Structure 1
Amino acid sequence: MSYTPELVAELEILALYNLSNTREGLKIHHTASPEAVAAAQRLYDKELTTQPDGGYLTSLGLDAAGHAQSLLTILNVAEAA
């Protein structure tokens, strides 16, 4: 399995969530890039978020966002070394 542009866009949205405050959601505005709008809809379709334009993370979404953000941290630390 490889990272497609669609998966990368979804990971980028998941990386925007503040995991320190689960009561803080996201709003992907209609003026955002078409890729971001489509990624937000796919995350909703996969039941990772509560709204098609972002909203809050579901419990599965919270797990996914945590893994996505951890991966970014690991890769960024490895890149800096």
Structure 2
Amino acid sequence: MPLSQTLYEEIRVLMQFSPDSIQEGIKVHNDAAPELVQAAQNLFDKGLIDRHDGGYLTDRGQEALQHARALTGLLAPAE
């Protein structure tokens, strides 16, 4: 499955959440780039966040963030 622009934007929004605390949410403002507003809506529709404009990760969203961080860690250049 190729990485579509839509999927990329969803991952981009997901990665804005802190991996250290489930108490830290995010807010995607109405005047943000349209693709980010749509990505937040998509994540909400998929049950990964609790509000259409950000909010907090759901349990499923926390799992998705862990996978996304693991993948980016594997793909990051070795230092």
CA RMSD of aligned residues (A): 1.0
Deviation at 1:80, TM superposition (A): 3.8
Alignment of 1:1-81 (within 5 A): 1-76=1-76, 79-80=77-78
Residues 29-60 of structure 1: CA distance to partner in whole angstroms, max 9, x if unpaired? 11211010000000000000000001000000
What residue identity is the alignment partner of 2:25? G
Alignment TM-score, normalising by the size of structure 1: 0.92
User: Distance in 2 between the 1:48 and 1:29 partners?
Assistant: 18
Residue 16 of structure 1: SS of its match in structure 2?
coil
Alignment TM-score, normalising by the size of structure 2: 0.94
User: Distance in 1 between the 2:55 and 2:72 partners?
Assistant: 22
* Stretches of structure 2 lacking an aligned partner (at least 5 in a row): none
What residue identity is the alignment partner of 1:42? N
Deviation at 1:20, TM superposition (A): 0.6
Identity of aligned residues (%): 41
User: Distance in 2 between the 1:40 and 1:75 partners?
Assistant: 24
What residue identity is the alignment partner of 1:44? F
What residue identity is the alignment partner of 2:72? L
Residue 55 of structure 2: SS of its match in structure 1?
strand
Choose between structure 1 and 2: higher helix proportion.
1
Q: How many residues align?
A: 79
